[in-house]
Structure 1
């Protein structure tokens, strides 16, 4: 399975003494360890197993090679995260609102389960402000969305808190009148991708502008 990213190799050598564990035992031990943290087995034969662990937007692949004398080799690859190609801009927001009445805001960041805006969000907030200052009559809903991890009630409250945080930042830091903004949180109720995999869940965790 070809995977690109940062690669490590760890070799475990077993000295003379008790009979070493069988290749199957080594494979099963690593599969169980991966499973306890949400990992899955991608491949297995008598010599190898390949494991994948996806957590907190990171993806780690591990190959266990048991055919190395009295020992085994772990090859670990941290898959490189995709670079976000869409950049927040007032022009992007204006075009989206005109075409569909709503538009996603790339570049808004929160820690997992938190509603405090991260400093990296400042550039996107400035572009929202630029949009609103260019059209003084425009009013928008700021809508928070989540994935479906955790309960509906918790995610709805989290998405509302995140939407409110964006509104508060636009008012306090960018000088936008509060009357032109309204925060709404819809939790996981409007996904744009399947929540069955982390890639889809990441797309569903977003903030949108909706024209009032």
Structure 2
């Protein structure tokens, strides 16, 4: 009996491996699974793309949130036996929900009602200091014979700079570029950039005769007028953070310069990241 059970397990494993290899052979050229997520049985990749872009994620009933980052888009199609093996919309979503939960993430929103409306799910997780948004969308039919996986990676530029280095550069008359991470499209300073605010506060606190100008800069993604407004709001947000720590408001002036003074080429991801910055100048 034990030998029969072992043979059955080996046969089952061989069948799973064979199905996976067969599915991978059918994958569109140059496409592969994202390393975070294993594909569902009997699905192959019908198409894929990867670029730096914005994406509109569903985060509630008729509510969306547009985010920016490196976007991976994978279209999965089913090529197995139709019948009880074909998963339902809820099963597909639960599979990814469990995978995200194991990595410490959570579901933001899902809808599985089969009434002809939108169905899918949005998840959010942070891993090794990087933020990820996952969408399981376009679930075709129920059971599901096709769906789209969308994964957006948001990597903020990190920066370590000592207080004395800040002061020496500013006091010499040179501008100091700071890569403060804000929430996408907003002026809220993210927690991972609080250390930059703390260093800037310490520098000003230790040099009471110093007055500074805070300049906000953006890349050229989106509308020029909205970028101008966003740059102003972000400069004001940094000033508010310093004032809240105890710096006198009259020691800080702010200005927004939008997308008009890029440091690098806006046609590349790295260039746009360098252009999204705060500059500090002595006045």
Asked if Structure 1 and Structure 2 have the same fold, meaning a TM-score greater than 0.5 normalized by the shorter chain, the answer is yes
- Residue pair 2:157, 2:181 contacting (<8 A) in 1 also: no
Q: Identify the residue that residue 199 of structure 1 maps to in structure 2.
A: 270
Cα distance in 1, alignment partners of residues 21 and 236 from structure 2? 50
- Residue pair 1:57, 1:202 contacting (<8 A) in 2 also: no
Q: For the structure 1 residues 138 and 126, does the alpha-carbon distance in structure 2 shift closer, same or farther, using more than 3 Å as the test?
A: same
Cα RMSD for the two superposed structures = 3.3
TM-score, normalised on structure 2? 0.48
Q: 1:95: Cα distance to partner?
A: 2.2
Tell me, what secondary structure is at the counterpart of 1:53? strand
Q: 1:11: Cα distance to partner?
A: 5.0
Over alpha carbons, which structure has the higher Rg?
2
Match among 212, 221, 226 for residue 140 of structure 1:
212
Q: Identify the residue that residue 102 of structure 1 maps to in structure 2.
A: 175
Q: 1:179: Cα distance to partner?
A: 0.4
Cα distance in 2, alignment partners of residues 147 and 11 from structure 1? 43
State the 4+ residue runs in structure 1 displaced beyond 6 angstroms. Answer: none
Q: 1:88: Cα distance to partner?
A: 2.8
**Unaligned residue ranges in structure 2 (runs of 5+):** 1-19, 32-46, 54-67, 75-151
**Unaligned residue ranges in structure 1 (runs of 5+):** 1-9, 15-20, 31-48, 63-77
TM-score, normalised on structure 1? 0.63
Cα distance in 2, alignment partners of residues 88 and 120 from structure 1? 14
Stretch of structure 1 that moved more, 201-210 or 91-100: 91-100
Cα distance in 1, alignment partners of residues 157 and 218 from structure 2? 21
Q: For the structure 1 residues 82 and 161, does the alpha-carbon distance in structure 2 shift closer, same or farther, using more than 3 Å as the test?
A: closer
Match among 75, 99, 116 for residue 188 of structure 2:
116
Tell me, what secondary structure is at the counterpart of 2:172? helix
Match among 236, 240, 254 for residue 183 of structure 1:
254
Tell me, what secondary structure is at the counterpart of 1:58? strand
Q: Identify the residue that residue 44 of structure 1 maps to in structure 2.
A: none
Q: For the structure 1 residues 93 and 12, does the alpha-carbon distance in structure 2 shift closer, same or farther, using more than 3 Å as the test?
A: farther
- Residue pair 1:93, 1:105 contacting (<8 A) in 2 also: no
Q: For the structure 1 residues 204 and 11, does the alpha-carbon distance in structure 2 shift closer, same or farther, using more than 3 Å as the test?
A: farther
Higher relative contact order (CA 8 A, sep 6+): 1
Tell me, what secondary structure is at the counterpart of 1:101? coil
Match among 241, 244, 254 for residue 169 of structure 1:
241
